[in-house]
Structure 1
Amino acid sequence: MPVCIIHKTTADSKGSCSKYTFYLNKENQELIAEKKYDRQQFFFDQHQNKLSSTTAMQKIDQNTRGKGLTRKEDKYFTVTLNFSEKELSYLAEKATGRKGIDNVNQMSKKEFEKYNTNIREYARNAMKNYASNFRNNISKNDIVYFGKTEHKRKYKGTEKEVINGKAKSGELKPGLQSHVHIVVSRSHKEKRIRLSPHRSARNTNNHKLRGRNVPNASFDRMQWVIKNEQSFDRQFKYERSLNEKFEVQYALKNGTPEEKIKYKSLIQENNLDKSKELEL
């Protein structure tokens, strides 16, 4: 399942997003040093494919001014859209027509562009789902965000591979590692509504903050993950196995003993049916 991570806010989230924006240029800087200019990735939003760093940054910063947010409140949120190894292999095969792609450098320029286009359009669908997931009839045109696709990941010193001595901190991780970083404004594009993915539908009722006429829209993070999984499958005609489904993985981890037994049994039956199909 595509994993949609809404990161915890930091002190930087209460001001300009400039620091994070320029941080997201790290992969392009490496590509420039390697003279792989045509492999660079641009910032994008719901309608544009090539935003400069300055334009992307200003989209967020300008949208939070005069929107009823105080100095101590978060002005933006950061999100990462991640894919499973199987999903990335599937996307690579759709872009190239070949199996066994485990590095984007194995793709031609045309194949790489198609691969990136598919990921970018999926991110746009995910942000459309993000908007509609708020309980205030919010649409994709009501949110302000920008995204950036990256194709590399590096080991961190805290990861088990580094701790166990199988990798070094800073080394590139093998295989396809494509993912999307997103910065989204807390403010509605026009109206004075706070759009926080940290404000759960379970603990708010779209109430107005005391002393200020600025309502908060509630957000259901679990539903957003489910919608994004459905969007991926629909967009790419992906036949998701039972054990890849979010609801199944969630039940196996957090469900009752009865639910865990039920889903384990269903997965075994599903795998058995597939084995019989292969034999035939």
Structure 2
Amino acid sequence: MHINISAQKLESTYTGSVRDYVTYLEKEEKTIGPEARKGFFNLDTDGIPSERVIAEIDGNTAKLKKKDPRFYSIVVSPSQRELKHIRNDKQLLKQYTRKLMEAYAHNFNRNQRIQVSDIMFFAKIEDKRTFRGFERQVLGNAPYHKEIVKLKNDMAKIARGEIQGNLRRIQAKIDALDKQAPYRAQGKRIVSGMEKPGLQTHVHIIVSRKDIQGKHILSPLSKYRASEVVLNGKPIKRGFDRNAFLESAEKTFDTVTGYNRNYVETYTGRKALLNDPKAFYQKILGLPKGEKAIALKLLKTLGTRMPVPLAAIGPLKDPIKSVKKGLSKTLRSAAIEY
């Protein structure tokens, strides 16, 4: 499970309106008729049209400064292992999303507890993902891709009569380079923009910066976890506990779906790996036999193996560096390959 929270982009990519982002989220439905489109959903309604999403998010921005984000994006990306467990059930994923937003609401630190009914949000489930430029498969194939592009440009110049050369020989070089590229998907060399194979279902959630009554500002990216200030002589609570929210997100998924989460898949485990690798591996060694076998298998998907013996973890920096690097890139791509 990977969850990413980001603020509305305020440079040239997006305007003050949520319209551009809503349009982007409808990309998978552009090729089907209006009657087949599933629309967005919120706490209690399905099939919400995009125009309603735009009107309500854009209409809930009173007293926000010009440079303040009007909304936040939350991307919920279950791992392939989690998706297999729920058999890629979109209704179950929708049920989980609604429960997730309860945890989101409860992790705001306010004088009066925030309820999920106070949160204005709209969510959409998508099935597809593409490889992006920073992912290890694209980076691993980059030298081959660069040379192939150069050779194809040479072929085009030969065809236009700008240079001389043997087209068959160049094509043979291209074919050889294509086969040598280390990362492939469904028999094809992986390049940026290629659709990812397997289960890639994920959820995009648009959350208004203000509560549904338009009275309070709610920022999940607040630099405060839980603090208090005095305003006009009254103590005011503020902040958002992102750590607690991410832990709640996993526990909620496990409760809703009956998923048995391995230590390697937990937010606690991922933090331990990044901050204290030795303690992380010690924890794995202490797992029951079956859980340990699963943990090692999951680690392998990140491109590393368990450093053995454990006592040698100190000098064995490369395996730890490798797994941390693999985990970091996997999390950035929001495509955990469990």
**Does 1:229 pair with 2:250?**
yes
Using the size of structure 1 for normalisation, the TM-score is: 0.77
Q: Do the aligned residues in 2 keep the contact of 1:196 with 1:216 (CA within 8 Å)?
A: no
Q: Counterpart in 2 of 1:100? A: none
Amino acid at match of 2:211: H
Q: 1:244 to 1:158 in 2, by over 3 A?
A: closer
**Does 1:184 pair with 2:211?**
no
- SS of 1:73's equivalent in the other structure is coil
Equivalent residue for 1:125, pick from 91, 99, 102? 99
**Does 1:45 pair with 2:48?**
no
Question: Which structure is higher in RCO with an 8 Å CA cutoff and minimum separation 6?
Answer: 2
Equivalent residue for 1:253, pick from 274, 291, 300? 274
Q: Do the aligned residues in 1 keep the contact of 2:74 with 2:205 (CA within 8 Å)?
A: yes
Please say which of residues 162-171 and 120-129 is displaced more in the overlay. 162-171
> What is the distance in 2 between the residues matched to 1:77 and 1:49?
20
Q: 1:271 to 1:117 in 2, by over 3 A?
A: closer
Q: Counterpart in 1 of 2:81? A: 86
> What is the distance in 2 between the residues matched to 1:208 and 1:10?
31
Using the size of structure 2 for normalisation, the TM-score is: 0.64
In structure 1, the gaps of 5 or more residues are 96-114, 275-280
**Does 1:16 pair with 2:37?**
no
Equivalent residue for 1:70, pick from 53, 56, 65? 65
**Does 1:175 pair with 2:164?**
no
**Does 1:56 pair with 2:86?**
no
Tell me the CA shift for residue 197 of structure 1.
Answer: 0.7
> What is the distance in 1 between the residues matched to 2:222 and 2:120?
18
Aligned residues: 241
Amino acid at match of 2:23: F
Q: Give runs of ≥4 in structure 1 deviating > 4 Å.
A: 35-38
Equivalent residue for 2:117, pick from 121, 141, 158? 141
Q: 1:7 to 1:191 in 2, by over 3 A?
A: closer
Q: Do the aligned residues in 2 keep the contact of 1:59 with 1:145 (CA within 8 Å)?
A: no
Q: Do the aligned residues in 2 keep the contact of 1:129 with 1:228 (CA within 8 Å)?
A: yes
RMSD of aligned Cα (Å): 2.7
Tell me the CA shift for residue 199 of structure 1.
Answer: 0.5
In structure 2, the gaps of 5 or more residues are 142-182, 184-189, 295-338
- SS of 1:55's equivalent in the other structure is helix
> What is the distance in 1 between the residues matched to 2:34 and 2:136?
32
Q: Do the aligned residues in 1 keep the contact of 2:263 with 2:269 (CA within 8 Å)?
A: yes
Q: Counterpart in 2 of 1:99? A: none
Amino acid at match of 2:74: V
